[in-house]
Structure 1
């Protein structure tokens, strides 16, 4: 047959091989690698290469192997384009859920950063033993709450009419927490705010949904954990913070991946916990600077929580004794709803000044002194000061010029009375100090820290126990016995039953700080201290007047936040607008700003401040409306990538692979050039 002679059966086309494709996000700080790369899945890894697992892949441009996450499986590929193969599947545990990746991508895009940087904060380092133990154990089941838990939670939430319904309806709320101390059933002292948030978590868990509560530091976490332990089973209460050991933190992260609902309490990175069926995200005291992420791309926990709620649903609660201008802006827009308490509670705040004829050199006016003496007959008294140490600031006794170190120019301080002054920067002792202005060798203490204040009050109240609480002397709680507790702002211990009086010193010095938000910060420090007072106990704010003092005295912190917004709007200061900082060599910064103006012509002439010299380069600030955010951040990110790619190319005087020199930080809190 002719066909047989020609060998027709042997010339049939070979079947087309369809390759399985993995789309991988590389774990790299290089901005140009912040996208998904396609890799072929070899046959031996077909059963292990599943979405969410950690993988190791070759990076051809660098000639090395790099870690990454398998984000998704691509469509089978029959093309002849070259694809590298996956090198290995590091772990069978799918640690990157689709929702977590979507959140990381959204947060990174909003901040002109990389999704890999977000995931580095959200996913702990793998611990092999902890992972094997978790995989070998039985999966967690839905927690069973005590029979009276729901009734207890509903009773606490009833103080805020509609709170329970708002949680069920996934509302966004701003809540002014009760400014008073509380005691748990076992007598443990906590803030009433911790009981309120614990009740919200119990109510959500009873409905079969998970809760995430983020707090600034370990002191707040301990209070919240104590309030929850009475009602939430241990296997459903998950702690997530950086102070845990590596295995403990990784085990906690694996628990959040389970299908069984849980309650997660932790610091700023806890908002990324990939819990099942999220029912509530709550932030306590979102004005605390510890919620600001120092690592790139610097997404504030408040912004991450807003994105999380928008993507995953569930309720969102901002609770605090004060209201930040950021949250108040959202309330004014109607995006967040103010939820008042049924009965308004406030401490008894007294604005105390020196009486006529009274020496201004006295730090404690006679009225506050008398209140402290009277209160010490019943229990502890809290005295808040601005700084730790003995004498944080020294000046020349003759000309009052600040005393500086002759070696590095740092400020001098005294560790105790009669001690040789030392530099706070380099630590050198200034044995033969002389003033650079007048050559005097005499020093004067210009401020009093916590230790000097304790020394002075100890002499004024002989026989009284004095407790110092600051960064060097951490104290968590004090008992009901009479004591003078001298604490720096934010380090105040809890008192069993509350303090019988609170005296707030150094307020005028706190308000002098060069900070756009210093009024908000001072109001937050004072309000948190006032909330530690027993019901009816006096709170004396010494030597401060004006709008901030009136807001504390009338306990109208939300109104103060509204006034701050009104004052900042004409000046185009955050948070009425968003602000991005662009740092780098002048040529790179100028090029990025030129590209931005062309891409976003809506930016007016006053949108850009600078560039001004800063360190080895320059810095410019870009102010833009929230509606322009996506376009501005996308363009700035493109400039960062462009400069990074240029930096990889060899040029005269610079080898290939030089580091990227253009940096962008979005949503900076202050206009600091």
Structure 2
């Protein structure tokens, strides 16, 4: 037996499982197969044989431990069926004086570390939860974003649930066998004629979805886009592969599940939803590793195990919910691109519009355009064109043309009004001087949830019943703007006797029937109406456009297009208060042309996605040192600018070809800083996790949204 080792003395092995799959940018390359570790050999009665070294990735936030660590396999565990690639283990880490959780990536007889190794302590679970393709993706994603693979694995692998695992291990043979789907799929009018070839040939495509809703055989109303993606997933399953469908939120998951239930057996569908219970999430992981499945979920679904990946599709990749808010902050679109390059299979970016990121991929030839043979153009009428001769009507929040459209449509069914904000009054002002009312604690805007309701801060939520104007000492407030509740009150008075339904974050509504009703919904919370809405009115357009953001045009078109797509065929949509290029793109339904023009405008300005960016946040000396390390021709730096708590922020802009080297340099700098910090403060090793003084975010949209 060897003496106990440590991470430094027992483990540093070249990370061969992931080094070949990581690049600094998601650029065209030939699809390659994910590296597959060699399986452990079974012992023979004649001798105790089996691999002697386990290469383990441990769960640690320290960047210097983001590598494969070698551990000696004790003789009692050699040849054990429970020890294999992908299983959870416990290993010692002498630097912190305790054992830590880890995942076996590889078993081998070749020890590369020259010193003595620590013994692997125990096998926690015999289930190989870490599939080779998931490890390769985690390694590639973390390297691209200058992050840690363990951070990605925490997003990809739900926590172990012993009861669920025990039931799965004791299940009868064949209970969770891959479903047999042999009938060829029927490509309907909801999909382009080339969808069959795209999936079978493993191509990459930007898919323009058709508008409107349709009824499933079970009686559920779903968007036509859901039927298109369901048909593509069914085709992938027929070919013997798995499909991953990633969508922004649970509403989209419900639509896709309903569409899939009409095409494939229920056992073929795995719901990968972060909103589920820990048991449900772990059960989904176990079902996904059993064989070809259709995984339907939110952004983390792109990391689901899929050994034979035939399709990965993202719906509405411009939705901010697709961006991971935890380190390493990777967008699901980038993870999907990298995974498709590693494993092959088809890749679909579907939406009613198109983001500038996907448009860049189309223009460089990495992604093809896929459009249905017949693209019906929704009837979108900008209110400025209808009320050009009536100045008062043009200034009104709901112009007369919108009133007439809503009144006529209410005779036959529901009418949708999209608004910008929830609540009663999204903003308040002094009734005497008109100054905006601000919170005395944090300076945020004050709001009122309902008529006569309590006044509170929109940012910190602190109530303020004793507000006093800082300009004129007034104490009376008046509402500024109208939220969903105030709009519902106004419409209820204008259309007496009609049903009024509010749908927002506090009042979630997913479906409404075909009876006449006024549906007031915030952007993204619009329910599906049976048969589609008889009219759609898009309010507060000028408020949405006024937001300071590089992506404001893309976001507005996505919100408006998604609401327009819920209308019945030939039903009118009225866009209120917006003209110019945005109104023209929506009314002509040439949304891809807007993305093309937007990208062309950003190229000479070196704004993303024409270039990649890395945001550095930390103390001034730390940020300055990191900037000196990555400085090279072709890079330019914005800042540093002062931030709260004595920090500074700098933005490094680079071409895609240089991003890999920059990410590696920044990662090396974070490792150096973390190692120096721990060496200088050994008394704090046991005080919990010490943050690295430098924070790096690649492709962060926040600096351009201020």
TM-score by length of 2: 0.89
Q: Which stretch shows the higher mean deviation, 436-445 or 637-646? A: 436-445
Matched, 1:508 2:537: no
Matched, 1:43 2:75: yes
**CA apart distance, 1:361:** 5.8
| CA shift digits 1:424-461 (9 cap, x unpaired) | 34544443432111222332211100000000000000
Q: Would the aligned equivalents of 1:568 and 1:574 in 2 still touch at CA under 8 Å?
A: yes
Matched, 1:344 2:375: yes
SS at match of 1:610: strand
Runs of 5+ unmatched residues, structure 2? 1-48
**CA apart distance, 1:593:** 0.7
Q: 2:181 aligns with which of 145, 148, 151?
A: 145
| CA shift digits 1:324-344 (9 cap, x unpaired) | 000010000100000111011
Between the aligned partners of 2:574 and 2:353, the Cα distance in structure 1 is: 18
Between the aligned partners of 2:501 and 2:431, the Cα distance in structure 1 is: 30
Q: Would the aligned equivalents of 1:268 and 1:293 in 2 still touch at CA under 8 Å?
A: yes
Residue in 1 that maps onto 2:8: none
Q: 2:203 aligns with which of 171, 174, 177?
A: 171
Residue in 2 that maps onto 1:611: 640
Q: Would the aligned equivalents of 1:146 and 1:231 in 2 still touch at CA under 8 Å?
A: no
Residue in 2 that maps onto 1:297: 328
Between the aligned partners of 1:79 and 1:408, the Cα distance in structure 2 is: 54
Q: Would the aligned equivalents of 1:387 and 1:450 in 2 still touch at CA under 8 Å?
A: yes
Q: 1:345 to 1:629 in 2, by over 3 A?
A: same
Residue in 1 that maps onto 2:219: 187
SS at match of 2:325: coil
Q: Would the aligned equivalents of 1:647 and 1:656 in 2 still touch at CA under 8 Å?
A: no
Q: Would the aligned equivalents of 1:502 and 1:530 in 2 still touch at CA under 8 Å?
A: yes
Matched, 1:244 2:280: no
Between the aligned partners of 2:62 and 2:286, the Cα distance in structure 1 is: 28
Q: Would the aligned equivalents of 2:271 and 2:296 in 1 still touch at CA under 8 Å?
A: yes
Q: CA RMSD in A?
A: 2.0
Between the aligned partners of 2:308 and 2:75, the Cα distance in structure 1 is: 35
Residue in 2 that maps onto 1:5: none
**CA apart distance, 1:615:** 1.6
Matched, 1:24 2:56: yes
Between the aligned partners of 1:78 and 1:493, the Cα distance in structure 2 is: 58
Matched, 1:422 2:422: no
Residue in 2 that maps onto 1:649: 679
SS at match of 1:569: helix
Between the aligned partners of 1:625 and 1:324, the Cα distance in structure 2 is: 19
Q: 1:359 to 1:78 in 2, by over 3 A?
A: closer
Between the aligned partners of 1:74 and 1:585, the Cα distance in structure 2 is: 43
Q: 2:313 aligns with which of 279, 282, 306?
A: 282
Q: 1:154 aligns with which of 164, 169, 187?
A: 187
SS at match of 1:99: helix
Residue in 2 that maps onto 1:324: 355
| CA shift digits 1:530-550 (9 cap, x unpaired) | 000001111000010111111
Between the aligned partners of 2:68 and 2:298, the Cα distance in structure 1 is: 29
Q: Would the aligned equivalents of 1:18 and 1:78 in 2 still touch at CA under 8 Å?
A: no
Q: Would the aligned equivalents of 2:231 and 2:263 in 1 still touch at CA under 8 Å?
A: no
Residue in 1 that maps onto 2:633: 602
Q: Which stretch shows the higher mean deviation, 298-307 or 442-451? A: 442-451
Between the aligned partners of 2:639 and 2:303, the Cα distance in structure 1 is: 35
- Structure showing greater radius of gyration is 1
Q: Would the aligned equivalents of 2:51 and 2:107 in 1 still touch at CA under 8 Å?
A: no
Between the aligned partners of 1:78 and 1:284, the Cα distance in structure 2 is: 44
Q: 1:634 aligns with which of 649, 654, 664?
A: 664
Q: 1:187 to 1:651 in 2, by over 3 A?
A: closer
Between the aligned partners of 1:198 and 1:18, the Cα distance in structure 2 is: 44
**CA apart distance, 1:144:** 2.5
Q: 1:271 aligns with which of 302, 318, 342?
A: 302
Q: 1:444 to 1:120 in 2, by over 3 A?
A: same
Between the aligned partners of 1:395 and 1:111, the Cα distance in structure 2 is: 43
Q: Would the aligned equivalents of 2:356 and 2:598 in 1 still touch at CA under 8 Å?
A: yes
Between the aligned partners of 1:592 and 1:426, the Cα distance in structure 2 is: 34
**CA apart distance, 1:410:** 2.9
Residue in 1 that maps onto 2:406: 372
Q: 1:459 to 1:41 in 2, by over 3 A?
A: same
Between the aligned partners of 1:561 and 1:621, the Cα distance in structure 2 is: 24
SS at match of 1:334: coil
Between the aligned partners of 2:393 and 2:694, the Cα distance in structure 1 is: 55
